[in-house]
Structure 1
Amino acid sequence: MDEHFVWVTTRRVKPGTLEEFERAWRPSAHPDGMSRAFAYWSEDGQEVTGVSFWDSRQACDAWRASEAEKRRRDSMAPYVEEEREGYYRGGELAIPTGGSS
C-alpha cells in the first residue's frame, strides 16, 4: 500500500455564512509540498471537511506555520463556529472484486 500523509480539517460554519467562508477558505497560493486537496460539504451546508495530501509531515507543518496560512485562518475565523483537525498516515484500501463467497 502506498502511504500518504493527510491533513483533515472539519469546520462547522455559522448559519448563512457559507459563501463568505468559502471565499476566505481557499488559499491564495499553492502550498509547497501539497500534492492534492479535496473538499466535502454536509448536505445542510453547515459543515465543511478539507482533506489535503502532503509529501511529508514536515511540508504540512511548514505550511501550517506560515504567514500565508495564518492570514487565511484569520480571514475564516468570523465564519467558523467549531473546528476539528488532525494529521493522518495511511493509504487506499483494496476493495475485493468478483463473485460472492
Structure 2
Amino acid sequence: MREQFIWVTTRRIRPGTLEEFERAWRPEPCPQGLRQAYAYWSEDGQEITGVSFWDSKEDCDAWRNSDSEMRRREAMEPYVVEEKEGFYRGRELAIPVR
C-alpha cells in the first residue's frame, strides 16, 4: 500500500465563531502538493480538526513556511484559543470484509 503524508491540526476556537473561522481557514491559493483535505467539527462547534494529505513532507513543509500560510494563520488568530499540530506518515489499513 502507498505511504501517505498527513498534516493534522486541532484548534479550539472561541464560542460562536465557527462561521468566521471557517472563512479564514480556507487556504488561498490551493497549496502545491495538497491531495485532499478534510475538516471535522465537535458538536459544540468549538473544536476543529483538519486532516490534509500531501504528495510529500517537503510539499507540506513548503506550504507551512509560505507567506500564504502565514497570512492564513494571521486571519484565523482572532478566533483560535488553542492549537496543536503534527505531521505523520502512514498507510491505509485493510479492513476485513465480513
So what's the TM-score if we normalise by structure 1?
0.94
How far did residue 92 of structure 1 move? 1.0
Whole-Å separation in 2 of the counterparts to 1:34 and 1:22: 18
Residue by residue over 1:23-71, the C-alpha shift from the partner in whole angstroms, topping out at 9 and shown as x without a partner, is: 1000121100111111111111110010000010000000000000000
Provide the residue aligned with 1:51 in structure 2. Answer: 51
Runs of 4+ with deviation above 4 angstroms: none
Percent same amino acid among aligned pairs?
A: 69
1:11-50 correspondence to structure 2 within 5 Å: 11-50=11-50
Tell me the matched-pair count: 98
Unpaired runs of 5+ residues, structure 2, are none
Whole-Å separation in 2 of the counterparts to 1:44 and 1:16: 9
Q: Give secondary structure in 2 for the equivalent of 1:76.
A: helix
Q: Give secondary structure in 2 for the equivalent of 1:71.
A: helix
* Bigger Rg over Cα: 1
Q: Give secondary structure in 2 for the equivalent of 1:96.
A: coil
Unpaired runs of 5+ residues, structure 1, are none
CA RMSD of aligned residues (A): 0.7
Provide the residue aligned with 1:64 in structure 2. Answer: 64
Whole-Å separation in 2 of the counterparts to 1:30 and 1:50: 15
